[in-house]
């Protein structure tokens, strides 16, 4: 690509360059543009129908084809770039929507997001301000209000009052769950260390001055050891440091130990550490475990501490009349993270931080003279990001088209299929189920022949477990490399089977509506086949 463009450009005059560039920006698509578009449509259709997950190319081989770092002179031909793109990039991209790719939180998406993405880019609204997003601004507010009501279910007149009130913020639409968690904890820190007396608040005077003003020796965020690593980022960013992040142990199923939480809190009080927030997890990334939210809400309320729930994965469980009780108490959280690109089936890049109190985000408000002026309806006044795209298009469309009953069906089916997979794991003596699934993430491992009997009797030594860990790591890598099916792997240190040792587990995430019971059997049978060809003693 690059070499060719350089040659081509050397021959172009200034006028030809101008003409070629102008053609790229023309609002009227010409015949060649349509041809390129038609071609991409075919590429997309082909990509979506492919169930094989990966080509066998290695990462090193791939990397070797992306090493040049000079921007070509150009302008080049769009068609020529598409040739390159299809051959080098699309061909070796991961088929995240394959029904046998059940290892990460990606899935097939509803088809309407594809044409909508073109509309989104064509309109290219900038939601930071009304002047560049006239209709999108109130439209985004509505979509966020729908999610707020879905989680908090406050009275109808609450929503009538706040949905389009520019001084209210029911939630912040951000690029993902990480920013949602950071935004919520940013609000929590700033609200809890607000101005008093001479002290102008942590947002103005900073964290060291805040601790002095409040007579504290440190600041902390408390949650279980299974909090998402974005909370580590938040603690680092917000100035408490990761040592300010207190991770308390979980029970054998990955749920926070309430007694340990209470202890950590009273320890903070004794040592005069200010508690910024306690964090409940509604669906750990490792295994889908859900913290006891109702009890945590009680504890937070008693202590007068901000309660944040990271429901990036699990939030949409609320759609299910059968399963929603698992999240009981979430409606008492001060802030809730939900990821659109997980179980709302939206394209990558959509997170939401919902705020119970519509004025809580005043604690992070910022202004500028050219935009986001005080009193304006600009959504950028209270947000971590500045300029940002109209991702609300996907969210609003999906909430309206899939609807509450459609989402309920998706959630119920995912959980049903996960139980199917748990049974399928149990039915194969080579596997060991490590945890009864609470949601749609399944943790299990392969136990090679030599250890199977001891595993059944619960008599594995640490050395045995280490050998089994190595085996499962190799098994997961070999399956990934084969390209026919995929589960991910993680490490759990709380499962009884590990006897205190971290256990390497195979981790299945069942969320793709295209995944059938047959696919699940297939993924497991692939693993049996691959395992049969691996030596029982790996590395070590």
Query: ω into residue 223 within 30 of 0, thus cis?
Result: no
**How far is residue 61's CA from residue 73's CA, in Å, rounded to a whole number?**
26
Q: Which is nearer to a copy of itself, 299 or 508 (CB)?
A: 508
CA distance 4 to 6: 5
Q: Of 52, 42, 54, whose CA–CA distance to 98 is shortest?
A: 52
Among 52, 88, 324, 332, binds a copy of itself (CB under 8 A): 88
Q: Does 9 bind a copy of itself (CB under 8 A)?
A: yes
* Residue that the structure tokens 């038609």 belong to: 38
* Interface with a copy of itself, residue 285, by CB under 8 A: yes
Tell me: does residue 29 bind a copy of itself (CB under 8 A).
Answer: yes
In order of 52, 88, 329, 332, 399, the CA distances from 308 in angstroms are 39, 43, 11, 9, 24
Structure tokens at 210: 């805040």
289, 364, 439, 510: which one binds a copy of itself (CB under 8 A): 364
Sheet containing 488-492, strands listed edge to edge, beginning at the edge strand earlier in sequence: 431-433, 441-446, 503-509, 488-492
User: Which residue in 42, 56, 134, 426 binds a copy of itself (CB under 8 A)?
Assistant: 134
Residues 6+ apart with CB under 8 A from 348: 106, 176, 341
- Least CB distance to a copy of itself at residue 421 (A): 18
The CB-of-28 to a copy of itself minimum distance in angstroms stands at 7
DSSP labels for 162-193? HTT-TT--SEEEESSHHHHHHHHHHHHHHHHT
> Rule CB under 8 A: is residue 7 a binding residue for a copy of itself?
no
Which member of 390, 437, 448, 498 binds a copy of itself (CB under 8 A)? 390
Does 173 contact a copy of itself by CB under 8 A? no
Identify which range of 2-10, 256-264, 298-306, 425-433 contacts a copy of itself by CB under 8 A.
2-10
Range in contact with a copy of itself (rule: CB under 8 A) among 108-116, 250-258, 323-331, 430-438 = 108-116
Question: With contact defined as beta carbons under 8 Å apart, do 345 and 110 qualify?
Answer: yes
String of contacts with a copy of itself for each residue 183-222, x by CB under 8 A: ---x---x---------x-xxxxxxxx-x------xx---
Per CB under 8 A, 462 contacts a copy of itself? no
- Which of 195, 303, 433, 514 is the binder for a copy of itself (CB under 8 A)? 514
User: Least CB distance from residue 294 to a copy of itself, whole Å?
Assistant: 24
Binder among 104, 194, 262, 466 for a copy of itself (CB under 8 A): 104
Contact call for residues 351 and 147 (beta carbons, < 8 A): no
Selected range binding a copy of itself among 121-129, 290-298, 429-437, 524-532, rule: CB under 8 A: 121-129
Shortest distance (Å) from residue 336 CB to a copy of itself: 15
φ/ψ bin of 285: left (φ > 0), alpha (ψ from -120 to 50), beta (otherwise): alpha
Q: Which is nearer to a copy of itself, 56 or 450 (CB)?
A: 56
Asked whether position 501 contacts a copy of itself by CB under 8 A, the answer is: no
Shortest Cβ distance from residue 520 to a copy of itself (Å)? Answer: 17
Binding to a copy of itself in span 215-274, by CB under 8 A: 218-219, 228-230, 232-233, 236-244
Binding of residue 121 to a copy of itself (CB under 8 A):
yes
- What are 368's two structure tokens? 């500028």
- Interface mask toward a copy of itself for 311-350; x: CB under 8 A: ----------------------------x-x---x-xxx-
**Are the C-beta atoms of 290 and 326 separated by less than 8 Å?**
yes
Q: Tell me whether residue 265 or residue 363 sits nearer to a copy of itself (CB atom).
A: 363
The residue assigned the tokens 């304006």 is 376
| Residue 235, helix vs strand vs coil | helix
Contacts of a copy of itself in 48-67 (CB under 8 A): 48-49, 54, 59, 62-67
Q: Which two tokens stand for residue 270?
A: 């004794």
485: Cα separation from own chain's centroid: 22
- Judged by CB under 8 A, the residue of 196, 271, 321, 401 near a copy of itself is 401
Query: Is residue 431 helix, strand or coil?
Result: strand
Distance CA 468, CA 452 (A): 10
Number of neighbours of residue 262 by Cβ within 10 angstroms:
15
Token readout for 307 is: 């309660």
Q: Does 444 bind a copy of itself (CB under 8 A)?
A: no
Number of residues this chain uses to bind a copy of itself (CB under 8 A) = 183
């Amino acid at each position: 690509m690059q070499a060719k463009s350089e040659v081509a450009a050397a021959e172009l005059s200034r006028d030809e360059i101008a003409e070629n560039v102008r053609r790229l920006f023309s609002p009227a698509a010409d015949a060649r543009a349509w041809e390129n578009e038609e071609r991409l449509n075919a590429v997309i259709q082909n990509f979506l129908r492919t169930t094989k997950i990966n080509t066998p190319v290695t990462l090193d081989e791939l990397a070797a084809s992306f090493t040049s770092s000079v921007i070509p002179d150009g302008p080049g031909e769009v068609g020529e770039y598409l040739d390159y793109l299809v051959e080098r990039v699309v061909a070796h991209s991961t088929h995240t929507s394959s029904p046998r790719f059940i290892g990460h939180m990606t899935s097939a998406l509803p088809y309407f997001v594809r044409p909508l993405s073109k509309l989104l880019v064509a309109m290219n609204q900038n939601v930071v301000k009304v002047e560049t997003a006239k209709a999108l601004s109130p439209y985004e507010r509505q979509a966020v209000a729908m999610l707020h009501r879905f989680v908090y279910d406050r009275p109808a007149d609450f929503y009538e009052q706040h949905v389009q009130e520019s001084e209210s913020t029911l939630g912040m639409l951000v690029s993902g769950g990480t920013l949602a968690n950071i935004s919520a904890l940013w609000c929590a820190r700033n609200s809890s260390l607000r101005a008093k007396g001479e002290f102008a608040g942590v947002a103005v005077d900073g964290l060291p001055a805040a601790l002095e003003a409040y007579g504290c020796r440190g600041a902390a965020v408390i949650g279980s050891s299974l909090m998402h690593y974005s909370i580590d980022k938040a603690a680092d960013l917000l100035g408490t440091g990761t040592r300010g992040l207190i991770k308390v142990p979980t029970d054998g199923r990955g749920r926070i130990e309430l007694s340990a939480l209470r202890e950590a809190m009273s320890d903070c009080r004794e040592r005069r550490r200010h508690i910024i927030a306690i964090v409940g997890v509604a669906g750990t990334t490792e295994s889908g475990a859900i913290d006891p939210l109702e009890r945590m809400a009680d504890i937070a309320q008693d202590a007068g501490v901000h309660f944040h729930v990271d429901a990036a994965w699990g939030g949409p469980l609320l759609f299910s009349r059968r399963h929603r009780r698992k999240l009981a108490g979430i409606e008492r959280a001060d802030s809730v993270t939900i990821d659109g690109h997980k179980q709302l089936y939206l394209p990558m890049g959509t997170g939401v931080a919902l705020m119970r109190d519509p004025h809580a985000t005043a604690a992070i408000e910022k202004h500028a003279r050219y935009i986001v002026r005080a009193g304006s309806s600009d959504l950028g006044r209270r947000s971590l990001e500045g300029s940002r795209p109209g991702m609300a298009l996907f969210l609003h469309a999906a909430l309206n088209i899939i609807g509450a009953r459609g989402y309920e069906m998706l959630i119920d089916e995912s959980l049903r299929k996960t139980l199917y997979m748990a049974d399928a794991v149990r039915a194969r003596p080579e596997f060991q189920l490590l945890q009864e699934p609470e949601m749609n993430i399944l943790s299990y491992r392969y136990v090679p022949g030599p250890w199977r009997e001891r595993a059944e009797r619960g008599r594995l030594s640490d050395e045995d477990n280490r050998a089994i860990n190595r085996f499962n790591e190799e098994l997961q890598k070999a399956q990934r490399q084969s390209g026919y099916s995929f589960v991910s792997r993680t490490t759990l240190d709380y499962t009884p089977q590990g006897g205190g040792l971290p256990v390497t587990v195979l981790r299945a995430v069942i969320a793709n509506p295209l995944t059938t019971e047959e696919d699940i059997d297939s993924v497991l049978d692939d693993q049996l086949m691959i395992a049969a060809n691996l030596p029982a003693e790996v590395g070590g």
